[in-house]
Amino acid sequence: MYLGIDLGSRTIKVCFLSEKGEISFEVVESGYDPLKQALGLIQKYPAKLIVATGYGRHLLKEHLSCEVITEIKAHAFGVRHFFPEARTIIDIGGQDSKVISLDKEGRVARFLMNEKCAAGTGRFLEIMAMSLGYKVSEFGEKALQGRGEIKISSMCTVFAESEVISLKNRGANPLEIARAVHQSVVDKILSMVHRVGVEEKVVFTGGVAKNVAIARLLQEALGLEILIPPHPEITGALGCALYKREQT
């Protein structure tokens, strides 16, 4: 048994990988005390089987002296498992987003992460869904019903939110606003993708990969097929477990 844990700022993902390669996982909210949450999930397992990644990885390391790797490396491992031929990874999580370019051997060649703000992350989508009165789970579908008639010009979450409010007040179609919000996330991601350089196959991971509109809009803009692993939000945790297996 190998155990990978991804301590994100919004959720904690744990992935169990059996000797036979069977994968099971658990996702919980980070809550007020992420460390306690994490320890609750994994304390019955010996630390030497555990590899941690994510925002809180060092916190866990201090407590368990388990091994840690970065999200970048973890994603490379997790993605290669499903798509050995992957060369570009687009990961959009709760609090950050990144684009990773892999070389032919599947090693990390270059990567970029978003700046300090929430633009281009899951958090941004969440805030916008809330202010439009949509559930996060339906937000993407709603956006696809818009035709792309409006554009949101502001990249900053705070300004974008007031832009959305003023659009609402002017009576704009909420489906169109939803579409515009998604487009703005995609634009932000695309600028990173172009800086890193894109090569096929392109794999989309992180919780936001479950949002159908983001995936569709990315695919259209890049003119390339976008692959999404099953349960894209656990890619990092799975990558940790796979890494551990490779080490042992």
The site for another protein, by CB under 8 A, has a size of: 14
Task: Determine, following the binding rule CB under 8 A, whether residue 240 of this chain makes contact with another protein.
Answer: no
Chosen residue from 41, 113, 155, 212 binding another protein by CB under 8 A: 113
Per the rule left: phi > 0, alpha: psi between -120 and 50, beta: everything else, 6 is beta
Our CB check for another protein shows the closer of 23 and 109 to be: 109
Chosen residue from 25, 61, 70, 83 binding another protein by CB under 8 A: 70
Q: Which two tokens stand for residue 109?
A: 């060649």
Our CB check for another protein shows the closer of 36 and 58 to be: 58
At residue 120, what are phi and psi to the nearest 5 degrees?
A: 75, 25
Our CB check for another protein shows the closer of 61 and 210 to be: 61
Decide if 12 contacts 28 (C-beta within 8 A): yes
Cα 227 to chain center, whole Å?
Answer: 14
Our CB check for another protein shows the closer of 68 and 234 to be: 68
Q: Which part of the chain contacts another protein (CB under 8 A), choosing from 106-114, 138-146, 148-156, 161-169? A: 106-114
Amino acid at 168: K
Angstrom CA distances, 168 to 123, 135, 163, 238, stand at: 20, 17, 9, 41
Decide if 188 contacts 155 (C-beta within 8 A): yes
Place of tokens 């069977």: 22
Chosen residue from 96, 161, 176, 233 binding another protein by CB under 8 A: 96
Chosen residue from 108, 155, 198, 212 binding another protein by CB under 8 A: 108
Our CB check for another protein shows the closer of 56 and 229 to be: 56
Q: Which two tokens stand for residue 195?
A: 């800086």
Residue 81 Cβ vs another protein, minimum distance, rounded to whole Å: 17
CA distance 244 to 248: 6
Place of tokens 């407590």: 63
Our CB check for another protein shows the closer of 55 and 139 to be: 55
Chosen residue from 2, 111, 124, 204 binding another protein by CB under 8 A: 111
Chosen residue from 69, 86, 127, 202 binding another protein by CB under 8 A: 69
Cα R_g (the chain), whole angstroms? 18
Task: Determine, following the binding rule CB under 8 A, whether residue 73 of this chain makes contact with another protein.
Answer: yes
Q: Which residues bind another protein (CB under 8 A)?
A: 55, 58, 69-73, 96, 107-109, 111, 113, 116
